[in-house]
């Protein structure tokens, strides 16, 4: 009697993305429903795979899953989706949810050894921080082959006999890669920006001010410098620390704001306020640029810590002094 006759569940999927898949990805890029954009973990099939077809492992973030399957046109393959709580492969590997244990569990749950005759799984290379290939082999008998960094190279990888070139193994961070990450940076600042506008509004009400259009666009410009402009121009801005790069572009922005308002020939506002902008705006940009380290593909923990030890106190002091100057300026006028 077969005591382990658990049903093998295989979900058929397609290499064609639908309109709603594309809208879903776009929404996730803008931070809408991004943390709940998931597919069911398990074993999927594309085309009509046989027992000798390759098995590709991915995360259950729907964008990761979609990016992989759309590259598999014309292939017959299995996709093993790990439960990474809706997080992409690289980030989940860093957390350990895309990890040795989950891979071993998932192989056992879907009974992969009954579905395929070979003993190889292709794991995206960026999953490697979470996976110990030699341990997976030891406990499951499955050999982990690290595939290319990008799903778009997967066909070439398979066609070249499961060999990834150095090119395929290297993670890049080109202008487009950086640009697609900026909307979510921008959206995440809305809450804090609304709080700041609220405080300025209250200050206006109690007669300390007036804060108006200039403050609004000066601040919004500094946010856009930190969240969009600095990330996009990243490699061309001199220096290495992200906070420094953001500060530099933010400083240029602050000078532009002051010059635009007549400095130094016919100033629209006092020297105190102009200095206040020079202290606050670059620091705001520096802070948001520094946060982009989390989205980048080449910053190390030790490096970010090092830059933060200098940048965070400098940003706090600079913004504090700037606020003092602007408030003093407002009180003088009262």
Q: Is 163 in the site for another protein (CB under 8 A)?
A: no
Q: Is 173 in the site for another protein (CB under 8 A)?
A: yes
Binding segment for another protein (CB under 8 A), chosen from 5-13, 154-162, 238-246, 271-279, is 238-246
Q: Which is closer to another protein, CB of 27 or CB of 333?
A: 27
| One of 203, 255, 303, 327 touching another protein (CB under 8 A) | 303
Least distance (Å) from another protein to the CB of residue 123? 10
| One of 296, 321, 327, 329 touching another protein (CB under 8 A) | 296
Q: Tokens standing for 292?
A: 């982009």
| Rounded distance between C-alpha atoms, residue 151 and residue 169, angstroms | 11
> Do 142 and 120 touch, CB atoms closer than 8 A?
yes
| Rounded distance between C-alpha atoms, residue 226 and residue 224, angstroms | 5
Least distance (Å) from another protein to the CB of residue 128? 4
**What is the footprint of another protein within residues 7-46 (CB under 8 A)?**
31, 34-35
**What is the footprint of another protein within residues 113-152 (CB under 8 A)?**
125-126, 128-134, 146, 149
Q: Is 247 in the site for another protein (CB under 8 A)?
A: no
According to DSSP, the residues that pair with 224 across neighbouring strands are none
Q: Is 64 in the site for another protein (CB under 8 A)?
A: no
Q: Is 161 in the site for another protein (CB under 8 A)?
A: no
Handedness of CA 275, 277, 283, 285 (dihedral sign): negative
Handedness of CA 12, 15, 19, 22 (dihedral sign): positive
Q: In what order do the strands lie in the sheet with 77-82?
A: 10-12, 42-46, 77-82, 55-59, 120-123, 143-146
DSSP string, 299-327: --HHHHHHHHHHHHHHHHHHHHHHHHHHH
Q: Report which of 11, 153, 146, 130 is spatially closest to residue 71, judged by C-alpha positions.
A: 153
Instruction: Please report, as ranges, the residues that interact with another protein according to CB under 8 A.
Output: 31, 34-35, 85, 87-88, 90-95, 125-126, 128-134, 146, 149, 164, 166, 169-171, 173, 181, 184-185, 188, 191, 234-236, 240-243, 290-308, 312
């Amino acid at each position: 009697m077969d005591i382990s006759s658990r049903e093998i569940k295989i979900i058929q999927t397609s290499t064609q993305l639908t309109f709603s898949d594309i809208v879903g990805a776009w929404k996730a890029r803008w931070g809408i429903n991004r943390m709940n954009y998931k597919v069911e973990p398990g074993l999927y099939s594309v085309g009509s795979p046989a027992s000798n077809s390759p098995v590709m492992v991915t995360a259950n973030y729907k964008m990761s899953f979609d990016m992989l399957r759309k590259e598999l046109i014309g292939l017959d393959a299995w996709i093993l989706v790990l439960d990474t709580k809706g997080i992409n492969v690289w980030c989940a590997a860093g957390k350990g949810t895309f990890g040795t244990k989950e891979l071993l569990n998932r192989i056992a749950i879907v009974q992969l050894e009954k579905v395929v005759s070979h003993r190889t799984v292709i794991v995206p290379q960026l999953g490697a921080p979470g996976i110990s290939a030699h341990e997976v082999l030891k406990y499951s008998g499955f050999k982990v082959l690290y595939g290319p960094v990008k799903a778009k190279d997967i066909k070439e990888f398979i066609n070249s006999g499961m060999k990834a070139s150095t090119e395929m193994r290297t993670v890049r961070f080109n202008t487009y890669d950086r640009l697609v990450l900026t909307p979510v940076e921008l959206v995440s600042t809305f809450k804090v920006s609304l709080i700041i506008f609220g405080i300025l509004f209250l200050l206006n009400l109690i007669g300390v001010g007036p804060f108006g259009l200039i403050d609004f666009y000066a601040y919004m410009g500094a946010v856009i410098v930190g969240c969009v402009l600095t990330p996009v121009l990243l490699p061309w801005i001199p220096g290495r620390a992200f906070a420094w790069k953001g500060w530099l572009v933010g400083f240029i922005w602050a000078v532009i704001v002051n010059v635009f308002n007549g400095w130094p020939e016919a100033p629209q506002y006092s020297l105190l306020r102009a200095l206040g902008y020079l202290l606050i705006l670059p620091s705001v940009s520096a802070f948001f640029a520094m946060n982009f380290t989390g989205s980048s593909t080449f910053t190390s923990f030790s490096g970010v810590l090092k830059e933060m030890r200098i940048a965070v106190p400098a940003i706090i002091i600079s913004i504090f002094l700037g606020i003092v100057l602007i408030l003093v300026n407002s009180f003088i006028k009262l």
